[in-house]
């Protein structure tokens, strides 16, 4: 039986431009690379990643009453995602992210949350009627909604997983007590703990701090091209990233944490899950865009096989 995952998070349309270099303040640069509109949003990227690795995926979010919402919903349905709990706000537009991708694949993202800001506790409570086996939360929605999702999960004995993006220093982390896996990236880790995870010592310090505040079973720090740092409350492990040609890192974090959570839900082995997530994220960074870069289980297995054979 497939495990059912409830993703409580955001949906956006991404406006993407690839640039040779970022303009300075007050400067205009002309870029001939064209532009694209790509389905994105941290929650939607994670929901698509769950669906593509084989989870029975339910997505709880809020979009506007506009063409972007229609386009996005159609994509989710085509991917087999349960869209019953995607609400519509009549006043606000569907979320939009402006993304600039530099030549080395690094991105800068500005999000206009729009309808994502209207997701509330009642919406989340209703979504819990889908009887999930696991709950996945990010911070691109109001705190009220993410905190409620954690609380409902805790009260119902359902494991919940937190991708801490995008982080704010004043996020009420202590309200996520009992999280199964907490997984921030480097920036989010520094914002939430004040510790830059730039050495093993600092990763450990930050992970201990996060685990103490949230009583997390596992803290997994995403460290970009350095891989990830896995802390289980006593021991730590570092899983290096795969060497791939990087096209665009957009959605790497979303894909990583979704793949990590689902693999962990399947077997309960955090290191095996982190290795699986590292494979999935490596494929993601080698492709352009958000939803367009998310691999399927078949692609992840084929990549793992090719690495084994190359050894």
Which of the residues are catalytic? 254
185 binds ligand RIB (CB under 6 A): no
Q: Alpha-carbon dihedral of residues 216, 4, 38, 169, nearest 10 degrees? A: -20
How near is the Cβ of 260 to ligand ATP at its closest, in Å? 9
Examine residue 111 and tell whether it contacts ligand RIB (CB under 6 A).
yes
Question: How many positions of this chain bind ligand RIB (CB under 6 A)?
Answer: 16
Check residue 250 for interaction with ligand RIB (CB under 6 A).
yes
Return the exposure string of 221-242: e unless at least 16 CB atoms fall within 10 Å of the residue's CB, then b.
Answer: bbbbebbbbbbbeeebeebebb
Q: Distance (Å, rounded) from C-alpha 57 to C-alpha 49? A: 9
Tell me: does residue 109 bind ligand RIB (CB under 6 A). Answer: yes
How many C-beta atoms surround the C-beta of residue 306 within 10 A? Answer: 9
Using CB positions, name the residue nearest to ligand ATP: 253
Structure tokens, 9 = 């998070």
Euclidean distance between CA atoms 169 and 239, whole angstroms: 27
Min CB(290)–ligand RIB separation in Å:
4
Contacts of 28 (CB under 8 A, 6+ apart): none
Position 259 contacts ligand RIB (CB under 6 A): no
114 binds ligand RIB per the rule CB under 6 A: no
Sign of the C-alpha dihedral computed for residues 105, 55, 184 and 96 taken in this order:
positive
Kindly identify the residues of this chain, within the stretch 121-160, that bind ligand RIB according to CB under 6 A: 140
| Residue whose C-alpha is closest to residue 180's, from 221, 211, 147 | 211
**Residue 40 interacts with, from ligand RIB, ligand ATP, none (CB under 5-8 Å by kind):** ligand RIB
If one asks whether residue 14 binds ligand RIB (CB under 6 A), the answer comes out as yes
- The listed partner (ligand ATP, ligand RIB, none) that binds 265, CB under 5 to 8 Å by sort, is none
- What is the per-residue binding string for ligand ATP in 236-265, x denoting contact by CB under 6 A? -----xx-x-x--xxxxxx-x---------
Size of the site for ligand ATP (CB under 6 A): 24
């Amino acid at each position: 039986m497939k495990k059912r995952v409830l993703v409580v998070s955001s949906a956006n349309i991404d406006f993407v431009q690839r640039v040779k270099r970022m303009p300075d303040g007050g400067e205009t640069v002309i870029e001939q690379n064209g532009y694209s509109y790509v389905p994105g949003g941290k929650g939607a990227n994670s929901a698509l990643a769950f669906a593509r690795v084989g989870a029975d995926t339910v997505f709880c979010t809020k979009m506007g009453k506009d063409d972007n919402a229609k386009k996005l919903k159609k994509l989710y349905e085509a991917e087999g995602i349960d869209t019953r709990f995607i609400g519509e706000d009549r006043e606000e537009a569907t979320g939009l992210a402006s993304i600039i991708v530099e030549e080395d694949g690094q991105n800068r993202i500005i999000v206009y949350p729009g309808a994502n800001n209207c997701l509330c506790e009642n919406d989340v409570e209703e979504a819990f009627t889908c009887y999930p086996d696991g709950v996945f939360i990010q911070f691109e929605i109001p705190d009220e909604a993410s905190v409620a999702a954690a609380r409902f999960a805790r009260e119902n004995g359902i494991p919940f997983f937190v991708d801490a993006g995008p982080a704010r220093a004043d996020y009420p982390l202590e309200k996520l007590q009992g999280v199964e896996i907490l997984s921030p990236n480097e920036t989010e880790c520094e914002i939430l703990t004040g510790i830059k995870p730039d050495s093993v010592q600092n990763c450990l310090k930050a992970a201990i701090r996060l685990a103490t505040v949230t009583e997390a079973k596992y803290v997994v720090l995403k460290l970009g091209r350095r891989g990830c740092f896995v802390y289980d409350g006593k021991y730590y492990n570092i899983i290096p990233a795969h060497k791939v040609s990087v096209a665009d890192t957009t959605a790497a974090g979303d894909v990583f944490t979704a793949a990590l959570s689902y693999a962990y839900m399947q077997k309960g082995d955090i290191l095996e899950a982190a290795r699986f997530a590292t494979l999935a994220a490596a494929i993601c960074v080698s492709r352009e865009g958000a939803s367009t870069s998310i691999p399927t289980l078949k692609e992840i297995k084929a990549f793992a096989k090719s690495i084994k054979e190359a050894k």
